[in-house]
Structure 1
């Protein structure tokens, strides 16, 4: 589809470091926006990703979930082969992987029609003009209107809901990304049975700021919060359930005024969903605690590139910090393995 939208969607994928819009698949050399389609090219995206966070299978799954994979003649308002969905593979193993992922999603019966995404050998990639790169940032209002009226987000939400922002197929994430899936599930077992109190009880338990942030999706003031400058080793847990969310090892100074992390301790600790509540800020990815179902903040794709490229921008009011020296005493001894001394920049 339109590479503006493909670029935006992949910037929100876990482990994706960089996305470049461009052209590929055709005959013409050095194509431009004015002639790429007549030269047989598609609008494509070149994706740089961290294999410790996401696999090639995960990249394919993310693509299928964020387009209309049943339409081989274009995407939404854009018609023609130049907008048709395609996956390019570098070798036979990647081809088999793409076919396996498509078959698995077809068997899930999410779509009423069969998936018809082309799987083709990887060809030379030609970067698009500079004004196309990061178009959603450079022309945010125009982009948001274009995307809204295309029906893309409505289509994705109708078929996947919040699952669009989760990698759920086997092999889409390397086992090391979560420290071993079965091991992590065991570590989080005690929080799986947590029952969230009623709103009336929460008003009694939480401070007004904590209630506004966690229950009403609010945002605390930048800078004036206790964990923004915190550099002590330890973990940050959900203010209600107590489930571990982030480690000081993954914390970094973002300059935003809010505590920022490159990743959660485990994907099991959080859930994500599309947030379209603010037209001027545009679509964002909200982050919530999985077991407490509390609003934590948002995740962006402007984090340190050498550490995965993500910035989990959190509210201090949604978390409680447990210093490393107190973790065992407070029942978090099993999570000491995720805490490394230092300020999180190493």
Structure 2
């Protein structure tokens, strides 16, 4: 069985043919950043953005490709992030003003930027946001925090659980004594609304609920608390893989990431089945340009609302931050997830993370005449 699984995963590596050519083509020599998709670059309407650039660097780091970069490119990446820090607030922003309206996206940009700068031994140019400025009103008291938790709609489990999980950073900023009543409030509430049979949270399709449960599992992990009903969650995950259509790369990745977090006991037969379904679903999202698309029919032009399907509205739905045209094309978000899936499947299978082949000329300085 192990040998069959090893052959299956090796055969699945063919999905990455052309991927690194696509990734290298997203690089922008002038800014030192990466575009989200080919339409972002070709249309002339967009610029390289924080998330796409950080995700590209994460792919390169995971695939041991940053060592190919010259010192000039590394310093250009440092400038890319430093120039996007706002001196007044300390946060990092893209040019689109709508980004500042999405607290989740602003928080991600801060983490992405700081990690990228640390990777190159650099630091922000300006002081980071003071905790008093970054702390939301709901942290004023345990009662206020509890009210905020109960106010979050879980009609879309993925979006709602993502918002709930975003409070972890604020809880971790407290002292252990201050934090304890907040953490107790959170886990008591989450336990009260977990579906007893499925082990999942919220509403929406099963893939949406699994995606939301994955977000909450990360929250539980931050505080070293075991997630309740793990056996039920695992059964629901297997049933979903077997029976439901995964038309979004997140629906392919989130179950695998949830398995990586939970580390349940997986039989050899189930591991083979999980890998077969996952690779088949990934293949549906592979594009002619060499990349992978977030969604089955196109790449979402505004990733910060990709959790919400057309026609759906929610009180906390952010304004779209457009970074592409939404064509049938590869995008950086999906590419990041495809690499994560590949590494996770090999780890779950107990196999070494053998590197993917990458042409020697890629990720090198380009001749001046070609720029």
Q: Same fold (TM over 0.5)?
A: no
Q: TM-score range by the shorter chain?
A: under 0.3
**TM-score, normalised by the number of residues in structure 2:** 0.23
TM-score scaled by structure 1?
A: 0.24
- Greater percentage in strand: 1
More helix by share: 2
Higher relative contact order (CA 8 A, sep 6+): 2
